Structure 1
Amino acid sequence: MEREYRGKSVYRGLTIGPIAVLKKNDVQVKREKIEDAKQEIERVKQAVADSQAQLQHLYDKAVKEVGEASAAIFEVHQMMLEDEDYQDAIQNMIQTELVNAEYAVAVTGDNFAEIFASMDDEYMQARSADVKDISNRLVQNLRGDVSVDLSEMEPSIIVADDLSPSETVQMDKEKILGFVTVHGSTNSHTAILARMMNIPALIGVPVDLEELRTGMEAVVDGFEGKFVVEPGEEVKQQTEAKMREEAEKLKLLQELKGKETVTADGKKVHLYANIGSVGDIAGVLENDAEGIGLFRSEFLYLGKTDFPTEEEQFNAYKQALQLMAGKKVIIRTLDIGADKQVDYFNLGKEENPALGYRAIRICLKQPEIFKTQLRALLRAAVYGNLSVMYPMITSTEEVEQIFAIVEEVKQELDAAEIPYKVPEQGVMIETPAAVMISEDLAQMVDFFSIGTNDLTQYTLAIDRQNEKLDDFYNAHHKAILMMIRMVVENAHKYGKWAGICGELGADLELTDEFMKMGVDELSVAPGMILKLRKRICEFSKN
């Protein structure tokens, strides 16, 4: 039966297809009285068999993709599922207390996890999380509510309560038709990712995830902010007609490929793309960007259990430079913290993480993490046209500290006789403090890149992740535009270039304003490149 929901659109696009419902792993279980203990025990045995089959599949897949050593965890989970003590404890609880299988599994899992956690042996302590994991898997199988394997699913619309950056970065982007989330903000990373991938996305959709099933057909209409589950024939036909119309518009834009981005009165503007990983470079080339204006290096850190090594980083940066074949690649150094939390950094809970220990502050307080990244960057610079930019700058002293650490890295590489090159170095202007001292900063660095997402957040004192404040969040606020103008003027005063890499760069309502200000570069989601080129080429000051 057709059901329609409304939400806020974060990318204006259209799609139709099956949904994949993502539910959080922490399973809520109710205690229920049962009559037939034997039947419940049989259900547990079936759930164990299903879990074993899933784990075997995961093991086989992991062996192919990451090798036997990394796949071994799935073997460990299979062995733990077969453990007699674990299975006896579940069965005994069902028989003696006459409780449902889900509750018996959850309680037994908690009890065993607690025992492992209290042991002195580190290996056994680590098994605590594994017991919780297999217990969650068993409960999900008992409820017929197994989480979707995103790498194995057919192309689908992802429906979730909300998505974290580490969840979105692990998805196979080729298989995502759209995003629909119950919570989230128009400025969240899910929203940014949707715009970067050029796919329709809605947030704040009041849908009950328990009523949805993976595989149901749905429509996401980013133009009208509609999510239609099990659409009728009329809605399907209207959607398909709109999709054909959009495809025609896109075809016309393709004619701008290969053309320079020059205003009607002759000003050349650099039009670059924002990306989150090497895998996104196909979209950069496909949309004819002149380079990469923001490579979010933190995506090398997200979704991992330990710090990426110097070699891992070097290979990723080198590959990006080689693929871009001499075109500019601007890599932002580590920007972890705030809404991008990574467990192994042990950052701790903060009252206000957006104003806390994040980005360049982590790098300056923990220089060994920073030096590993800088070594990889300087080594990779030999292979292409690299620029590096440092985020969250608030003072000239921070820049001096950064340059001192770069000098140390150069000396280390010289001593080891490792080839390297010092790239162009710039700073991100994303705090009001950086705006106010931009004349001083312009005399120290090679370029400015204005991060409008954080600049807006800090200037308006609005947490951009807080959906309650969306009505107050005004990215076109006069103060923001005055700040951008000031930064551009101060850069030009000292012969430096200034660009915009935040979401505002792709706002077609402001393109003319940015051209009047003299902005030299705009870096946007790959899917916006040709639309923006069309607007810039039509602009004339006269």
Structure 2
Amino acid sequence: VELPLQLSMVARSGALGIGLLRTEFMFMNREDIPGEEEQYLALRDLIEALDGAPMTVRTLDIGGEKTAPAIVGEHNESASSALGLRGIRLSLSRIDLLKTQFRAILRAGAHGPVRILLPMVTSLSEIRHAREVLKKTARKLKRKKIPLADPLPPLGVMIEVPGAALSSDALAQDSDFLAIGSNDLTMYTLAADRADEQVAHLYNPLHPAVLRLIEFTAQAGLRARIPVSICGEMAGDPRYTALLLGLGLRELSMSAANVPRVKQRIRNMDLVAAGGRAHIIMDQVDAGRIAMLLDDFNALA
């Protein structure tokens, strides 16, 4: 979900909550930075509207094509780069912004179940630093007798770069959950920007390297006994549903419009058979062969 007005679509779709709330909507297209109260009220209204269904709030992911002039400022050149100062990197360089977001999320969490997701994480030090900031922020709110989420919301990380995927075993030890961002993971793994027509044909989520990183992350979550979800175009496309479930994923986050089709695909699926086909697919080295095997399996269901 990117905008509050999309909430009605979530309810009608049959989705079980909001798997990814992009908080950038509060920061973009304005010259100032939203304060704690404004962020809190926006989050509280969303949580209350969900009526007990969970919501995963991603902290600020300004950078790349998403800009917020009031925040980026002197870091504009770096923040505009896909490999620059963005996601958790920007938040940890502007601790004041992160603390404000955490205060708003913690206060909103008193009104319903919420999780916190950190974007663009690549190292253990980033999540440990963020967790310490979260704990200190919560302690200060408690001392002021301000109602907040209790216990603290689960803190998880986005797996959207190869380094994070390959480190997912380690990251899982310090995370309460993992969330695979399939769009960015595909782009960074294959060094291909799908928005660039000169190389868009190289962007392929069925590339063996991408699938191995997804499988590795899913298995890391199983070993650590923490939830692993996936978002992005793969999660919302029924073509990939059997493969993703076969790789061990059980939480799919997608736009509300895609929920009915994916749910129907799951209802018609033999999960054991999906696991077997995923095992065969993971032995392949050619994306074309993988696509053929996947489409053949989908045609049988």
| TM exceeding 0.5 | yes
Asked if structure 1 preserves the Cα contact closer than 8 Å seen for 2:64 and 2:79, the reply is no
TM-superposed CA distance for 1:501, in Å, is 1.2
Asked if structure 1 preserves the Cα contact closer than 8 Å seen for 2:67 and 2:80, the reply is no
Match of 1:524, SS?
A: coil
Match of 1:500, SS?
A: strand
Match of 1:359 in 2: 87
Match of 1:431 in 2: 161
Return the match for 2:37 from 291, 304, 311.
311
Match of 2:56 in 1: 330
Write out aligned runs for 1:124-523 (5 A): 275-345=1-71, 346=73, 347-350=75-78, 353-421=81-149, 422-523=152-253
TM-superposed CA distance for 1:462, in Å, is 1.6
TM-superposed CA distance for 1:304, in Å, is 1.4
Q: What is the alpha-carbon distance in structure 1 between the residues aligned to residue 79 and residue 94 of structure 2?
A: 21
Asked if structure 1 preserves the Cα contact closer than 8 Å seen for 2:2 and 2:25, the reply is yes
Q: Which amino acid aligns with 1:440?
A: A
TM-superposed CA distance for 1:352, in Å, is 6.7
Q: Deviations over 1:99-151 (max 9, x none)?
A: xxxxxxxxxxxxxxxxxxxxxxxxxxxxxxxxxxxxxxxxxxxxxxxxxxxxx
Count, aligned residues: 268
Q: What is the alpha-carbon distance in structure 1 between the residues aligned to residue 228 and residue 79 of structure 2?
A: 34
Match of 2:43, SS?
A: helix
Q: Which amino acid aligns with 1:538?
A: N
Asked if structure 1 preserves the Cα contact closer than 8 Å seen for 2:37 and 2:104, the reply is yes
TM-superposed CA distance for 1:507, in Å, is 2.1
Match of 1:510, SS?
A: helix
Q: What is the alpha-carbon distance in structure 1 between the residues aligned to residue 79 and residue 135 of structure 2?
A: 35
Q: TM-score, normalised by structure 2?
A: 0.86
Q: Deviations over 1:282-322 (max 9, x none)?
A: 00001111111011011110111110110111011111110
Match of 1:514, SS?
A: helix
Match of 2:263 in 1: 533
TM-superposed CA distance for 1:457, in Å, is 1.1
- Pair 282,442 (structure 1): closer, same or farther in 2 beyond 3 Å: same
Larger radius of gyration: 1
Q: What is the alpha-carbon distance in structure 1 between the residues aligned to residue 79 and residue 96 of structure 2?
A: 26
Please, what is the CA RMSD of the aligned residues? 1.3
Q: What is the alpha-carbon distance in structure 1 between the residues aligned to residue 49 and residue 195 of structure 2?
A: 34
Asked if structure 1 preserves the Cα contact closer than 8 Å seen for 2:237 and 2:258, the reply is no
Q: What is the alpha-carbon distance in structure 2 between the residues aligned to residue 366 and residue 351 of structure 1?
A: 13
Q: What is the alpha-carbon distance in structure 2 between the residues aligned to residue 486 and residue 538 of structure 1?
A: 26
TM-superposed CA distance for 1:434, in Å, is 0.8
Q: What is the alpha-carbon distance in structure 2 between the residues aligned to residue 350 and residue 373 of structure 1?
A: 22
Q: TM-score, normalised by structure 1?
A: 0.48
Q: Deviations over 1:46-79 (max 9, x none)?
A: xxxxxxxxxxxxxxxxxxxxxxxxxxxxxxxxxx
Asked if structure 1 preserves the Cα contact closer than 8 Å seen for 2:123 and 2:164, the reply is yes
Q: What is the alpha-carbon distance in structure 2 between the residues aligned to residue 294 and residue 305 of structure 1?
A: 25
Q: Which amino acid aligns with 1:523?
A: S
Unaligned stretches of 5+ residues in structure 2: 274-301
Q: What is the alpha-carbon distance in structure 2 between the residues aligned to residue 452 and residue 355 of structure 1?
A: 17
Write out aligned runs for 1:61-72 (5 A): none
The answer to which structure has the higher strand fraction is 1
Asked if structure 1 preserves the Cα contact closer than 8 Å seen for 2:131 and 2:155, the reply is no
Asked if structure 1 preserves the Cα contact closer than 8 Å seen for 2:161 and 2:188, the reply is yes
Write out aligned runs for 1:51-130 (5 A): none
Q: Deviations over 1:456-476 (max 9, x none)?
A: 111011234323221221122
| Larger RCO (alpha carbons 8 Å, 6+ apart) | 1
Q: What is the alpha-carbon distance in structure 1 between the residues aligned to residue 42 and residue 183 of structure 2?
A: 26
Match of 1:312, SS?
A: helix
TM-superposed CA distance for 1:419, in Å, is 1.3
Asked if structure 1 preserves the Cα contact closer than 8 Å seen for 2:193 and 2:200, the reply is no
- Pair 483,305 (structure 1): closer, same or farther in 2 beyond 3 Å: same
Q: Which amino acid aligns with 2:256?
A: P
